[in-house]
Structure formats: structure tokens, C-alpha cells
Amino acid sequence: MAIEDEFEKKNGFPRSAATLENWRRQPFSRWSFRNAAELVPSARIATDMPRPLPQRIRNQELMASPVQPGSGETVAWFLARSQTDSFVMSRDGRIVAEWHATGVDREDPHLVFSITKSITALVFAILEEDGLIDPSLSVGMILPETRKSAFGDATLRELLDMRVSLDFEESYLSDGDYARYRRAMLWNPPQAGQPDEGLFKMLCSLRKGEAAHGGAHAYQSPNSDMLGMVIEKVSGRRFTDLVSDLIWKPLGASADAFLTVDRLGAPRTAGGFSCRPHDLLLLGEMMMNEGVGQAGRIIPARFIHDMMKNGDEKIWAEGDQADFLPHGRYRSQWYQVGGDRQAFLAAGIHGQYLYVDPETRTVIVKYASQDEPADDPLDQENLAFFRRLCTEQVAAESWS
């Protein structure tokens, strides 16, 4: 068919070749990460003022500069080598750099994976400020169905900070519980002889680990999906409607976002969010401004202050992500760089980043379709790259 030929010419493979069995691998991922709603059922997160994006900034000086001092590799080459799809950077609320891979439309929504967790925590923060939710409550008090599971006696604060004792391995390429988890959320195809269960039922089947809750940081995505179930229960509303009304519309997002859902409509609040890079940049700028967007306050200031200051460096150092940020912390589904720096970030597998540095008034969005879901050396390169951009002495005015 002619339409299939056109698709293949643009993407390098026919549309029929991208399936639930391969959509998170190259060469399919560069297309599928921008079209997740075509593969996985997705709910719309509406904005109330769709609009064209601002004129593209073509910052040739930055793109031709070394990615690190003394490096022979330019910024543009690093973006290409790290399989970046889109890169947008602002300083003091003004976009100063933008780059997109060949074939990537700057208006495309892109799956942000675990950056979704950080957005989920923002919804929680608003509900807490309104008195609808209390982080000291246990999950079982809100969702009785969870009382025999690992989550029953875990507090919402322990969910937020990834300090739940859970007999579950966050192994993205395994055929065990993680594959079952992905089948339940409809991210993997059904498997013969395996149960056809929804996400909530699957979460309720998970068992507690040997340790007590409240110990070292243990990064496990089911915590964030359970947090979404709690949010829907206490609010009496669908999560996607809450994001639309409480964040996306007040933010003035340029386009609708999307969230993948299971066969029963349960939200994938740990990793199913897709949006334009410029709209995620807006969210980062709002966080940099202590919860205030262009039209006023969106996120309570006390949540921002608590997230930035109250993560426990000792708990982080004892946890399973300590190598990611050697002096870091984790609080309320956001990472803090730690040490003497105020920078914080949200991150997702396959190279998704939202990096916020209040000290230099810099916000960076980097979307990618990296081959591997987790790539520790490349993570460190990305973090060093962001630090360099935030401390770059070239005046922002010369970057446009």
C-alpha cells in the first residue's frame, strides 16, 4: 500500500513491523515512543488552550561547542550519539537551545517513562494541600483490597519515597514478575497460560519483602502505580482528569498529553505519560519557580521546599540507586543532586530527563530512544552534560 510505503520511507520499517513485542527496542522505539497511544490504550489529558509552539531556536554556537571542557565531541554529536530524540533548554524562562533528531517532529508527544512518577507526586501534593489525603495513612486504610499484599501496611509517605519492602525485582529485561507487570499494564502482549489480570489485581498480589517498610531506598515502580490508585480512590476522579484540571490546564500546556491505561482503565502512573518536550519544559519552569506557573500557583510551595530539602542522603546511600547520584537524595518521587547544589530532576528509562537548576535558572528536557532501558555510563555522561550547561559562562543572550 502507498501509505505503508510512505511510513517505511520515513521511519525505516513498515508500520506493521512495530508491535507490543518489540516497540521498546530500536529501530522501532524512535517512532513508538512518540506514538505510544497507537500501541497501548491511552487516556487523554486535555489542555484548554492548545496553541502553536514558539519559533524554534537554532543555537549553532552551543551545538558546536565541546560537550565537556577539553572534549573533541561537540554538543550536537553528543545528542546524536546518545540517541536523543528532542532536547530543549531554557534559562530564566526563555528558550535558549533546541535540537531534534532527523525525522522527529518537535510537536510530537513523547513517552517520558518514569518522569510520570514525579508528575503523579504533584497531583498528590495538591490533594494533600486540599486536605483530601494524608501521607501518614497506610494504603490499606484507603484501599482495603491491598491489606493482604505488601502495600497494606505501607504508608503513603513510604510509597512516595520508595521505602516500601516489596518482594519484586525492577528488572526491565526479565521474564519474571516484571514481565507479568508489563502484561497487566498492556505494555507486553498476552502470554499463553498466563493470567489476564488488570494492573490493580496484579499489584494486590505482590508480597512484602523480608525487611520492614521504611528502610533503605528501593526503586520499584509498582509503588508509583499504587499511588495512582490511591489518588483515584480518595478523589473519586480519574487520574487523567485530575492532571488535566490541576496541572495541565493551569500550566497553559500547548497540547494535550496522554497516559497509558490497562484494559479496565487503570492509570499507569509510574511510567505511561506522554507530552511535548516544550510542555514538560513549562512544568520544569513551574517547579523552578516554587510551584508558580505563568497564570499563578499550581503546586504548594511547601511541597517544593520539602522535596528539595528533606530527602535523606544516608537512606539514599544505602539504597539501590546510590551510584546514579553519589551525593544524591530522593524525596516525593523526585531526585535531588545533593552536595552543595540545589538542582533536582525527574528521570525515565531509555534516556528521559527533566533537569531543574534553580541556582542558574536553567531547565533542560532531554527525550531519547536509547537502546538499553538502563545505561549507567550514559546516565553519568548525561548528568555531567547537564551540569556543564547549567554552569556555562557564556551569557544566555549570546545563545540565540
Residues 111 and 244 in one domain: yes
Asked whether the beta carbons of 230 and 139 are under 8 A apart, the reply is yes
Question: Quick one: average pLDDT of 374-387?
Answer: 97
Q: How many CB atoms lie within 10 A of CB 64?
A: 11
Q: How confident is the model at residue 194 (pLDDT cuts 50, 70, 90)?
A: confident
Statement: residue 399 has pLDDT above 50: no
Residues 28 and 39 in one domain: no
Domain that holds residue 1: 1-32
Statement: residue 232 has pLDDT above 90: yes
Domain end point (choices 183, 208, 229): 229
Domain assignment present for 40: yes
Statement: residue 152 has pLDDT above 80: yes
Domain assignment present for 368: yes
Dist. CA 245–CA 3, nearest whole Å: 37
Asked whether the beta carbons of 201 and 184 are under 8 A apart, the reply is yes
Q: How open is the CA angle 217-218-221, to the nearest 5 degrees?
A: 130
269-296 per-position pLDDT tens digit? 999 999 999 999 999 999 999 999 988 9
47-75 per-position pLDDT tens digit? 998 999 999 998 999 999 999 888 899 99
| 3-state secondary structure at position 275 | strand
Residues 218 and 365 in one domain: no
pLDDT cut 90: percent of the chain above it: 89
Residues 106 and 141 in one domain: no
Higher pLDDT among residues 194 and 232, named by residue: 232
Q: Which helix (H) or strand (E) holds 354?
A: strand 352-357
Total domains in the chain come to 3
Dist. CA 48–CA 192, nearest whole Å: 43
Question: Quick one: average pLDDT of 353-369?
Answer: 97
pLDDT at 1: 64
CATH of the domain at 155: 1.20.58.710
Residues 152 and 113 in one domain: no
* Cell numbers linked to 297: 500557583
Q: How confident is the model at residue 173 (pLDDT cuts 50, 70, 90)?
A: confident
Statement: residue 172 has pLDDT above 80: no
Using DSSP bridges, classify how beta strands 110-111 and 273-275 pair: parallel, antiparallel or unpaired: antiparallel
pLDDT at 151: 98
First to last CA, the chain: 44
Q: What are the DSSP calls for 96-145, one per residue?
A: EEEEE-TT--TT--EE-TTHHHHHHHHHHHHHHHTTS--TTSBHHHH-GG
Q: Which helix (H) or strand (E) holds 285?
A: helix 277-288
Q: Half-sphere exposure of 168 toward its Cβ, with a 13 Å CA cutoff? A: 28
Phi then psi dihedrals of residue 79, to 5 deg: -60, -40
Residues 225 and 353 in one domain: no
* Cell numbers linked to 177: 514478575
Residues 246 and 388 in one domain: yes
| 3-state secondary structure at position 262 | coil
Residues 76 and 66 in one domain: yes
Q: Taking Cα atoms as reference points, which of 25, 229, 216, 31 lies closest to residue 120?
A: 229
pLDDT at 49: 86
pLDDT at 303: 98
83-126 per-position pLDDT tens digit? 999 999 999 999 999 999 999 999 999 999 999 999 999 999 99
Dist. CA 79–CA 100, nearest whole Å: 9
Question: Quick one: average pLDDT of 364-370?
Answer: 98
Higher pLDDT among residues 197 and 243, named by residue: 243
Q: What is the pTM of this model?
A: 0.96
Residues 253 and 372 in one domain: yes
Question: Quick one: average pLDDT of 154-179?
Answer: 90
